[in-house]
Structure 1
């Protein structure tokens, strides 16, 4: 069994003539949390979307669980064992909490399995259980983020891709969400965490990759990067 669940090699992402990601390479260790850090516009979200199959890979290679997925469709990537928590949460606002999970479960598992997982999510996130019939659009930002995580977990993923989970949340709710991230990692789920708040991300990550202007400015353990000038310069470069 490989020690990595995700391998990115010489990845390029383009939007027309704009080269958003420039030949980057990194991996995510099995059971670890890799933080992808950098200022707005550094290429973090474009990298995550390319891994998820949402935007095409211009060149380079993406492998998940030892299998090439560079040209795979998003649904195939999810079915391979990847859960996705997108930036902005993107819950179905006009559906109830429970209906959001039903939609995710129907797409990812047989009905009895999906029902059992839905019940498990209600127990894991009691506030969602209490508000199961409430429209998702009426939840607070933090509650919507919990729902986004629960929805991603409906597929029993081995790798979770999280894009800016702290964005727009109150400090207390940020602490709650990051506690959930640590709990998932302890359960054996590998995580690629895209996060602009470097201090928060370095508290939970086992490895970090710093991006600036579409390139990797550096990578290493949180201890290597904490207080490092390259981390500060990457944020100032935007």
Structure 2
């Protein structure tokens, strides 16, 4: 199987360790992962903000870049949701590539049939299901199943887990007051669990949550779940 990594803008520019974690996980499982250098933005921010014409060249570039691969994996529920849900409506002929684009947990659980990736992470962790992963991709228990299989990890249920953290891309900028109130609720729930880490499938949401936790001087840290799955004994 030819697998390509779509790293996404946020990870490429701010959280490159997450993309590297995805590669380490898949290579540990015996797969080769390629990184097509022609990749760019998926166009989500443009399309979601009403700039359809500006999004179209980005969509076409994605389709052209990733068409040669059997599977495209991305550590971002929101970007994968953009590709799978919006691409077929924006560009005719993109459905095939869109259907082969997976969020990491989908590729591991549904395509490769794996839940135990050999990770070790001896910490208390709670999991926040981000909106795109929860409501558009319907990831369900896949990320939790992967986390439960990590040796030494104690997975703690997050109260009000399905409530949005308040990020929502440009929503956090255009509706800062509402966003801040939603973030306060989410951070309070995380702190109440006593977890050392809060994991999720989107670093954009984790950056928002991590900032809120930091301002509260909370001990809990935000971490992409791929980085947990990539951790092995020293």
| TM-score in terms of structure 1 length | 0.30
Which one has a larger percent strand, Structure 1 or Structure 2? 1
Which one has a larger percent helix, Structure 1 or Structure 2? 2
| TM-score in terms of structure 2 length | 0.30
Larger RCO (CA within 8 A; separation ≥ 6): 1
